[in-house]
Amino acid sequence: MNMMICILKRLSVGVVMMVITIACSHEEEYVCEQMTQALSFRIADTGYQEEGKNLHSRAIDTDYQTRFSTGDACGLYVVTDNGVVGNNIKLLAERDAASGSVTWKSDVLLSVKWKDAVFFLYYPYQEDMKGKVADASLAAESDEAFFAPLIADWKPQDNQSTYAAYTASDLMTARGTVSATMSGEQQVSFSLKHRMALAVVELPVTTYRFTNYTDIPDYSASMPVSFSGNQKMYALTDGTLRLLVRPEEEDAPVLEGLCDDGMKKFSINTANITSGLYKTFKVDGGRKIQDYTLQMSDVLAHLGNHSWYVIPYEAYTDAPDKGNAIGVVIKVGRHNGDCSDYTQPLAAGGPLLSASTFHGYAAALNDLSAEQIEWGPSTVGLPNYPVDAQGNPQNNYNNETYKQDWSGYAYTQAIIKQAGGQEQLLVYPAVYRAVTAFENKYPAPVNTSGWFLPSIGQLWNVYSHTGVLGVVQNELSTFGHYWSSSVHYYQTECILTIRIQNSLGDVYGKYPTDIGLVRPVLAF
Amino acid 11: pLDDT: 30
24: pLDDT confidence band, cut at 50, 70 and 90?
very low
Residue 238 pLDDT class (50, 70, 90 cuts): confident
What would the pLDDT profile of 96-140 be if each residue is shown by its tens digit?
877 778 889 888 765 545 556 899 999 999 999 999 999 877 666
CB 413 within 8 A of CB 346: yes
| Cα separation of the two ends of the chain | 77
Q: What is the dihedral of CA 192, 99, 238, 92, to 10 degrees?
A: 40
CATH 2.60.40.2620 residue window(s) in the chain: 2-154+171-193
CB-based burial of residue 188 (10 Å sphere; 0-12 exposed, 13-18 middle, 19+ buried)? buried
What is the model's pLDDT at position 62?
55
User: Looking at residue 320, what is its pLDDT?
Assistant: 85
Mean pLDDT of the chain: 86
Asked if 171 contacts 154 with a C-beta cutoff of 8 angstroms, the reply is yes
Q: Of 28-37, 162-171, 313-322, which gets the smallest average pLDDT?
A: 28-37
* Three-class SS state of 453: coil
SS3 state at 121: strand
Distances (CA, A) of 36 to 7, 85, 86, 114, 350: 14, 18, 17, 11, 55
Is a pLDDT exceeding 80 seen at residue 327? Answer: yes
- Residue-wise pLDDT tens digits, 429-465: 999 999 999 999 999 998 899 999 999 999 999 999 9
What's the fold here for domain 199-292? Answer: Immunoglobulin-like (2.60.40)
Of 202, 203, 208, 322, residue with least CA distance to 260: 203
Query: What's at 94, amino acid-wise?
Result: E
Once rounded to an integer, what is the mean pLDDT over residues 302-308? 80
User: Letter for the amino acid at 412?
Assistant: T
* Phi-psi label, residue 229: left if phi above 0, alpha if psi -120 to 50, beta otherwise: left
Residue 471's H or E segment, with its range, is helix 466-472
As annotated, the residues of the chain forming the CATH 2.60.40.3570 domain(s) are 199-292
Cβ neighbours of residue 504 under 8 Å, at least 6 residues apart? Answer: none
Residue 26 above 90 pLDDT? no
Q: Contact, 327 vs 320, CB < 8 A?
A: no
pLDDT greater than 70 at residue 305: no
The answer to whether the CB of 378 falls within 8 A of the CB of 312 is no
Residue 183, number of CB atoms within 10 A of its CB = 8
415-421 contacts: CB < 8 A, separation 24 or more?
Answer: 415/376, 415/382, 415/384, 415/453, 415/485, 416/346, 416/347, 418/381, 418/382
Cα 101 from Cα 151, distance rounded (Å): 29
* CATH topology classification for 2-154+171-193: Immunoglobulin-like (2.60.40)
Phi first, then psi: what are they for 437, rounded to 5°?
-65, -40
Q: How many CA atoms lie within 13 A of 516 on its CB side?
A: 28
146 pLDDT above the threshold of 50: yes
Tell me the percentage of the chain whose pLDDT exceeds 70.
Answer: 88
- With 60 as the cut, is the pLDDT of residue 4 above it? no
What is the average per-residue pLDDT within 399-411? 95
Instruction: Please tell me whether the overall predicted TM-score, pTM, comes out greater than 0.75 for this model.
Output: no
- Residues 342-365 have pLDDT tens digits of 998 998 777 888 767 899 999 999
Q: What is the pLDDT, as a whole number, of residue 115?
A: 58
Biggest CA–CA distance in the chain, Å, is 111
What are the angstrom distances between the C-alpha of 179 and each of 186, 249, 261? 6, 38, 58
Highest mean pLDDT among 28-42, 87-101, 226-240, 425-439: 425-439
Grade residue 32 by pLDDT with cuts at 50, 70 and 90.
very low
Distance CA 324, CA 74 (A): 38
